[in-house]
Every structure is written in C-alpha cells, then in structure tokens.
Chain A
Amino acid sequence: MREKGLALIAGLLFGLGLGISQMIDRERVLGFLDIAGNWDPTLAFVMGGAVLVTLISFRFILRRPHPIFSSKFYLPTRNDIDRLLLVGAGLFGIGWGIAGYCPGPAITATVLGIANPFIFLVAMIAGSLTFQAIAPRLASPKSAAPSQPLAK
C-alpha cells in the first residue's frame, strides 16, 4: 500500500511539473523541435532541470543496497546499443514531431478537456500493442539471448 501511495505522490509531482513547464501545450513542444522557426527553448530547461536533479540524486540512491520500500531496484539491465533501440527511438521522434505529444504530456494534457490527447493515447496504445504482437518476429539473435553477461 505504501508503494501505491508513494507512486501517487510521484505521479502528482510529475503531472504538476508537466503543467507548470507547459509541456502539456503541444505548441510549446513543437516550438522547441522547430529549430528553423521561432525557436522556443523551454523544453531544454525542462529536460535540463529534470536531468540535473536525477544526475545528482540517482548517484546517491543507487549506492544504497535497496530502495526504502522495496528489496531491489528495478533497473534496465541492457547496455548494448542495438538496431531495435535506434530504430525505435527514431520512430518515436517522428511520431513526437507529427503529434507534438510524447507519452507523459499526452496523459497529463487529458485534464485540459480537449479530444486530441485522448485520440493520441488510444493510437499510442494501439501502436505499442502492434509492436508487441510482431516483436517475436523482429527479435535479433542478440536480444533473444538474455543470458549474456550484462553490466549493471
């Protein structure tokens, strides 16, 4: 239960941050991505502020044997830069550029009472399930062998 309460508080902070930074306004996001237009640097400050905090805090947190409410850290274990990562990230950027939403802002922007974030989220879930359905056929030999030695 305390994990759920903590998740609620963390979610509140995340949504509040997206609101205050106005990342829930897709024009703000597109204004950052539009380097040939009237460039809006706001997103760089949002990303910079967030990473500044995690760069410092994660160092201290990950030095501890385990998190406060749990017996282990649930961290991605892979370190290799493979084709699925780069193609996936590349596609994500294309979709982000077309819609002006990425997953976080789209979720929080639903409170604005407009249809676009809802349409985006339904399509996003459909895209995610589509990849999940075809993923077994795309798996590279590398990613099919989770037993390979992994650095943290």
Chain B
Amino acid sequence: MEASWIAGLVGGILIGISATVLLAFNGRIAGISGMVNGALTFARAEQWRWWFLGGMLGGGALYEYVLAPQPTPTSTFAPWAMVIGGFIVGFGTRMGNGCTSGHGVCGLGRLSGRSLAAVITFMVTAAITVFITRHVIGL
C-alpha cells in the first residue's frame, strides 16, 4: 500500500514515454477515446490505431501475467454502473474531444488551455459524482 505511489509514478512515466514516442515518430496524440473512435471508422489510414489498442492489451497482459507481484484486485461491482457510466463517458469524450489521456497526459504536455479547462472540469465533476454515489446515496 505505501509503495503504491512509486508504482503510480513508474506507471505514469511509462505512459508519458508512450505518448512521447507516438508523437516523436508518428506525429500522433496518444488519446485513448480518440484512438477508439478513429479505429472504429475502420478506415485504412486509421489501421495503426488497432495496433496501438492491441499493444495496450499486450502491455496489460505482460504486467498481469508476467510481472505482477500479485493479481490486480477485481470487483464485479454493479454492471448497471458500467452501462450508465460507460455511455456517459463515450458521449462526453466525443463531445469534449478527449479523456484523461488526450486532454490530461498529452494536452497538458502541449500546454493547451483547452485541455487544462477540460481536465479541471472532469476532475471536479468526477469527484462530485463519487461524493454523491459514496457518501450521499451510499453505494
């Protein structure tokens, strides 16, 4: 538990390196909501996005089944929360052109004011939402 910030920092640096190599070599932004939306056009020019998404699965599997000191805890919490939350995330990220990676990791790295406004907004609404679900409704 007390080492979680170190793991967080190491993981975060890897994510930053991922965004760095994608921009330096391919000139692309590592924003995952946009990655999915682009991949789902199934256009030839967007095929690289499927390779990136495949890599995300490979990297996750490499961690979970080779490197992980213990299995990642899983919960089977409330499928309805996934349906509602997932739908709103998809709707909102398409409307706002990005998520934690596109606006957060890449947008802040580019010193984009638009991304900073987005990050502050979604951090605040997410914290308010969790406050309501956990402490007001008591889920």
Classify chain B's interface size: 35 or more
Could you tell me the distance between the alpha carbons of A116 and B73 in the complex, rounded to whole angstroms?
Answer: 13
User: What is the 8 Å Cβ interface bit string for chain B, positions 76-97, against chain A (1 contact, 0 not)?
Assistant: 1101011111111111111111
* SS of B interface (majority): helix
A65-80 contacts to B, CB under 8 A, are 66-70, 72-76, 78-80
With known contacts A79-B113, A85-B118, A123-B82, A10–B8 Cβ distance under 8 A: no
Could you tell me the distance between the alpha carbons of A24 and B73 in the complex, rounded to whole angstroms?
Answer: 9
Contact check, B22 vs A50: say whether CB atoms are below 8 A apart.
no
The 9 listed contacts between A and B (C-beta, < 8 Å) are A17-B12, A20-B7, A50-B104, A53-B16, A85-B117, A86-B118, A89-B92, A89-B103, A112-B64
Seen from chain A, the residues whose Cβ lies within 8 Å of a Cβ on chain B are: 3-28, 30, 33-37, 40-55, 57-58, 61-62, 66-70, 72-76, 78-81, 84-104, 106-112, 114-117, 119-132, 135, 138
Seen from chain B, the residues whose Cβ lies within 8 Å of a Cβ on chain A are: 4-30, 32-33, 35-37, 40, 47-49, 51-65, 67-68, 72-77, 79, 81-101, 103-114, 117-119, 121-131, 133-135
